[in-house]
Amino acid sequence: MPEVMMATRQAGTAATHTILEVKNLEAWYGESHILHGMNFNVNAGEVVTLLGRNGAGKTTTLKSIMGILGKRTGSVRFNERELIRMTSDRIARLGIALCPEERGIFASLDVRENLLLPPVVRAGGLSLDQIFELFPNLKERLKSQGTKLSGGEQQMLAIARILRTGASLLMLDEPTEGLAPVIIQQIGHTIARLKKEGFTILLVEQNFRFASTVADRYYVVEHGKVIDGFSNAELPANMDKLHSYLGV
C-alpha cells in the first residue's frame, strides 16, 4: 500500500488508547437473554480475539456493538461516544464495520458490484487498487458472480468490502470457518497486514490455533459474559485453562 497512507494510519495510532469499551452489556434475541454483562475493551491498533464454545455469545456481542439487535442494555463506547441507543447506520458512520460469519455475498452480483455496494461512510477507506494488492485473486475474478466464488474467495470479498467504507474498527466473525489451510494462512497474513496499517480488529474465532498467530489479547466468553482474559505473552501460562474452557 502507498507509504503516505501507511504513515497517516500509524501516526494516528502511535499512542495506545482504548478505542472500544464494553461494560455490563446485556442483549436479547426476542425473549432469549443471551448476553449477561459482557465487559472488555479494545485498544487502538491491536487485534483482540473473543474465544469460546459455540453458543457462548461471541457473535451476539459483535451484533450488539453494531446495533443490529433490537434489545440491549449496558454501555458500548467507541472513541468515547456512547453507542447503546444508536442505530446501526449511525454506528457505521462512526467507523465500525462488521464482516459477518455468513459473509453476505450477493449471489446475483459480480465481484466488482459486491465490492462497490456498501457506501463509503468516512474518509480513509481503501481504494480498489489497494484492495487488489491485498487480495489479488479478487482482481482476477471481477466479473465472476458470487455463486461462482470459492469459500475462500467469498471470505476475501467479504473482508475487502468493509475496507472500502472508511471503518477503523473491523469486527470479523469466524473468518476462517470452513476454509482450507492455505486460505486460512492467507487470511492470517491479511489481518497482520491490516494491523500494520493501523486498523483495529475485534475477532471472533473458534480456531484457536489461527487466533494465536494474529491476536495481541484474548477474552474467553462463556454463558454470555467474559470469564477470563490474557495477553499473547501470557498465553503459554494459560494453555491448560484455555484447553478446559474450549474443550480442545
Q: Each residue of 100-142: pLDDT tens digit?
A: 988 888 888 999 999 998 888 888 889 999 999 999 989 999 9
Q: For residue 102, with 0-12 CB atoms within 10 Å meaning exposed, 13-18 middle and 19 or more buried, which class applies?
A: exposed
Closest to 142 in 3D by CA, of 187, 109, 118: 109
Taking the model in full, what pTM does it have? Answer: 0.90
The residue whose grid cell reads 477507506 is 125
pLDDT for 12 equals 40
For the chain, domains (ranges, CATH) are 3-8+18-246 (3.40.50.300)
3-state helix, strand, coil in the chain (%, to 5): 40, 25, 35
pLDDT for 8 equals 33
Q: Do you know the residue count of the chain?
A: 248
pLDDT of residue 4 exceeding 80: no
Asked if 4 contacts 192 with a C-beta cutoff of 8 angstroms, the reply is no
**Angle at alpha carbon of residue 95, lines to 193 and 176, rounded to 5°:** 45
Beta strands at 217-222 and 47-51: parallel, antiparallel or unpaired: parallel
Cell of 128: 480498489
Closest to 65 in 3D by CA, of 118, 26, 11: 26
Cα separation, 230 vs 235, in Å, equals 7
Provide the mean pLDDT of the chain.
89
Cell of 27: 442483549
The residue whose grid cell reads 483482540 is 48
Q: What is the pLDDT of residues 166-181, one digit of tens each?
A: 999 999 999 999 899 9
Backbone φ and ψ of 167, nearest 5°: -65, 145
pLDDT of residue 20 exceeding 80: yes
pLDDT of residue 93 exceeding 50: yes
Q: What is the pLDDT of residues 154-207, one digit of tens each?
A: 999 999 999 999 999 999 999 999 899 999 999 999 999 999 989 999 999 988
